[in-house]
Amino acid sequence: MPSLAVTLGRLQLKNPILVASGTFGYAREMAGLVDFSKLGGVIPKTVTQTPRIGNQPPRTVETPSGMLNAIGLDNDGIDHFIAHHLPYLRTLPTAIIANIAGKAADEFVVMAEKIGREAGLAGLELNLSCPNVSGGVDFATDPEVTRRVVAGVRKVCPLPLIAKLTPNVTNIVPIAQAAADAGADAVSLVNTFVGIAIDWRNRKPVLGNVTGGLSGPAIKPLALRLVWQVAKNVGIPVIGIGGIATIDDVMEFLVAGASAVQIGTANFYNPQGAMLLAEQLTGALAQGRVESVQEIVGTLQV
């Protein structure tokens, strides 16, 4: 049987199939549908230092081959997460990777220090790239800002760190390199692309926030290109995100250089999808004539 285990810096996972933050709630919502033991890990919804009510509705709209969302990081804050969600998440038979976002670099550090003291977490993903909040992508559009945030968190938090980066930049490689230089164990690529949906008859945007983040199959070729670029130029593991719904999608990201993947938009229409992909992975590796996930990572021939 091929080995499904993957290692992302100091983070070890039993398989490379993760569910993306913001698409799986806090896992409790999926308890009746998903066998969590089959997942490589769960990344619950982003939490912030203080509660946020999110953006004005409508917050989501279906688009051709994808969806736009402008949720705006609606959550009850990190203290609520630690008190009410983390106890349940600790009981799940898979890796739990918390996800945080701050309005300033100092907020990331404060939250990371607090959550780093908690048991039951396998890692911490830094959401440096949410496009639906004021200033939300600023941390991942400038290498020096990325470096400062990751380095600050690295000093106070013992957990393996993943920097989640935005695709809404001219060149993502220097930003990923800055995250690596600052101590990130891995980078996750990519967050959503900024887009807009318009109701032309009423001359109005569909989303209450005007713009939103585009995800789903429409962004897969773009995400694959960014994963490939970073994987061949930056010396830390990459987690691929963007339109992954089938086992072929998973394998394409692995071949492009991703060491693991996150399933996002597909969770909304098929909550069991990630679990099924994990089940199909062994057969795909056998078809690729490899004995482990690691053997196929980054094998794209160009």
Residues classed as catalytic: 130
253: which 2 tokens? 């990201």
288: nearest Cα among 260, 259, 247: 247
Q: β-strands 211-215, 193-196: how paired? A: antiparallel
User: Residues 6 or more apart from 56 whose CB is under 8 A from it?
Assistant: 208, 209
The letter for the amino acid at 61 is: V
To the nearest 10°, report the CA torsion of 148, 150, 153, 154: -110
Angle, alpha carbons 176-177-182 (nearest 5°):
100
Instruction: Report d(CA 202, CA 206) in Å as an integer.
Output: 10
Task: Answer yes or no: are the C-beta atoms of 129 and 164 closer than 8 Å.
Answer: yes
How buried is residue 181: exposed, middle or buried, by Cβ count under 10 Å (0-12/13-18/19+)?
middle
